[in-house]
Chains A and B, each alone.
Chain A
Amino acid sequence: MQTLAVMVTTPPHSNLTTTAIDYIECAIQKGIKVIGVFFYQDGVLNASSYLSLPNDEYQSIKQWQRLNKEYDLPLHICVTAGEKRGLTDEIDDQTGKKTQTNINDAFILSGLGELVELSSKADRVVQL
């Protein structure tokens, strides 16, 4: 099975992100194993749980959630890029566990090492 990793650098309100979502879904439907999406630069903004896109506009966040759920697609956001843009996790004082306060549950906070791992496993890496 052919494998693919995608790096997304565009924000949720950009039509370029719509292109990335279309591309990824077409790949999955074509039988390509998409091993992960890595969100870098402004791409991390796709993971904000505070996103509120007008109802009559393209709901990129719903599409990412759907891809994650329907196809078990791992969505990694770069922690450094996230923190620069106000996205972070917190350690709960009571339980000592990490909670993703303003990051949508469909996304995982990851380091750049995750991108190296995806790159080493995928047959192709596409930046969108």
Chain B
Amino acid sequence: MINKKQSIAILNSTAPFASTNGKDALDLALIFGSYEQNTSLFFQGDGVYQLVKKQSPDKISTKDYLKTFAAFEFYDIKHIYVCAASLDQRALSDDFHIDNVTVLTTSEFSKELHARKIILRF
């Protein structure tokens, strides 16, 4: 029995393909979401590469798990935060492959992270 709701942050810090971190974090996010836990996703450091548009994982024989990000709303994952400084450092724009992403300054990002009860980082 799931007897109480916890606020969960899943913090993505790894680029999408070389390691399984991104996929493993996604699986966790969807399961926490489907159990109606208060789940938020955070992208910082190389994790922001998971949000870049027009990636072609088929070229490297990798499953396109990033397209599942479109289901976040369906799983009731309302908050998706991205660190602006991480985008700037990597010369990335805020044009992502999903909607409803909130770009935060480093300090806002930290404050949102501090508001969560459980933080899992991948």
- Tell me if B2 and A116 are in contact (CB < 8 A): yes
* Known A40-B24, A41-B24, A121-B3: A116·B35 in contact at CB below 8 Å: yes
- Tell me if A7 and B3 are in contact (CB < 8 A): no
- Tell me if A112 and B28 are in contact (CB < 8 A): yes
- Chain B residues lying within 8 Å of A117, measured Cβ to Cβ, are 1-2
- Chain A residues lying within 8 Å of B120, measured Cβ to Cβ, are 7, 125, 127
A17–B4 Cα gap in the complex (Å)?
30
- Tell me if B31 and A115 are in contact (CB < 8 A): yes
A120 CB contact (under 8 Å) in B6, B21, B31, B121: B6
Q: Is the interface of A mostly helix, strand, loop or mixed?
A: helix
B111 at the binding interface (Cβ < 8 Å): no
- Tell me if B20 and A41 are in contact (CB < 8 A): yes
Interface size on A, residues (CB 8 A): 16
A80 at the binding interface (Cβ < 8 Å): yes
- Chain A residues lying within 8 Å of B31, measured Cβ to Cβ, are 111-113, 115-116
A81 CB contact (under 8 Å) in B2, B24, B37, B118: B24
Complex interface residues of chain A between 102 and 120 (CB less than 8 A to chain B): 111-113, 115-117, 119-120
A120–B27 Cα gap in the complex (Å)?
17
A81–B28 Cα gap in the complex (Å)?
12
- Tell me if A120 and B4 are in contact (CB < 8 A): yes
A119 to chain B, nearest CB (A): 6
A7–B122 Cα gap in the complex (Å)?
12
Residues of A within 8 A of B (CB): 7, 40-41, 80-81, 111-113, 115-117, 119-121, 125, 127
- Given contacts A115-B28, A119-B8, 14 further A-B pairs with CB under 8 A are A7-B120, A40-B24, A41-B24, A81-B24, A112-B28, A113-B35, A116-B31, A116-B35, A119-B32, A120-B2, A120-B5, A120-B6, A120-B37, A121-B4
Residues of B within 8 A of A (CB): 1-6, 8, 20-21, 24, 27-28, 31-32, 35, 37, 118, 120-121
The 8 A-B residue pairs whose C-beta atoms are closest, nearest first, are A112-B31, A116-B35, A125-B118, A120-B2, A120-B4, A127-B120, A119-B118, A119-B6
- 7 residue pairs from A and B, CB less than 8 Å apart: A111-B31, A113-B35, A116-B2, A116-B31, A119-B8, A120-B5, A127-B121
